[in-house]
């Protein structure tokens, strides 16, 4: 029987850390584990044109946060996407805004606005 390792996992943090796939599935990872996860996701989703930069995984949205950040967030919180979000990603994002830091939430809402994605009806429906 393997011994259980005590490890600080992604759910121990305020905010999100991981990648949101084009199909609307979020894949969490712990702080500084984006590279390993990106390699697995690129293989699993058969992503083409990935050059190894975890900030630029085609069609994925990357979330990151420093482990010690509070719910407000800081400059260590980020959200990075290279492409217009899919409908599945938008749906996931709008139902998970409460899991993001304030910084991540502002970045996401700004990105959706940038892509001319009107979310006003959905935000009202989610009672934000």
Condensed to tens digits (0 to 9), the pLDDT of residues 21-59 reads 999 999 999 989 999 999 999 999 999 888 888 888 999
Any domain includes 76: yes
The pair of structure tokens assigned to 95 is: 């139902």
Any domain includes 5: no
pTM recorded for the entire structure = 0.82
Any domain includes 6: no
In order, the DSSP letters of 74-99 are -TT-EEEESSPPPHHHHHHHHHSGGG
Sequence-ordered list of residues with C-beta below 8 angstroms from that of 61, at least 6 positions apart, any chain: 19, 20, 79, 80, 81, 85, 89, 93
Please state which of the ranges 16-20, 36-40, 73-77, 92-96 shows the lowest mean pLDDT: 73-77
Any domain includes 37: yes
Any domain includes 116: yes
Q: How far is residue 49 from each of residues 14, 52, 53, measured CA to CA in Å?
A: 32, 9, 11
Domain span at 110 = 12-125
Strand pairing of 78-81 and 26-28? unpaired
What tens digit of pLDDT does each residue of 92-123 get?
A: 999 999 999 999 999 999 999 999 998 887 77
The Cα–Cα gap between 110 and 119 comes to 11
If one counts the domains in the chain, the total is 1
């Amino acid at each position: 029987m393997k011994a259980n390792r005590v490890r600080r996992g992604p759910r121990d943090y305020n905010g999100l850390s991981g990648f949101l796939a084009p199909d609307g599935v979020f894949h969490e990872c712990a702080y500084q584990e984006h590279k390993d996860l990106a390699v697995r996701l690129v293989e699993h989703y058969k992503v083409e044109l990935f050059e190894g930069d975890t900030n630029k995984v085609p069609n994925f949205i990357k979330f990151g946060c420093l482990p010690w950040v509070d719910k407000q967030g800081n400059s260590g919180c980020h959200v990075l996407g290279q492409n217009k979000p899919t409908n599945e990603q938008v749906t996931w994002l709008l139902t998970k805004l409460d899991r993001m830091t304030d910084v991540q939430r502002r970045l996401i809402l700004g990105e959706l606005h940038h892509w001319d994605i009107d979310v006003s009806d959905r935000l009202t429906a989610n009672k934000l």
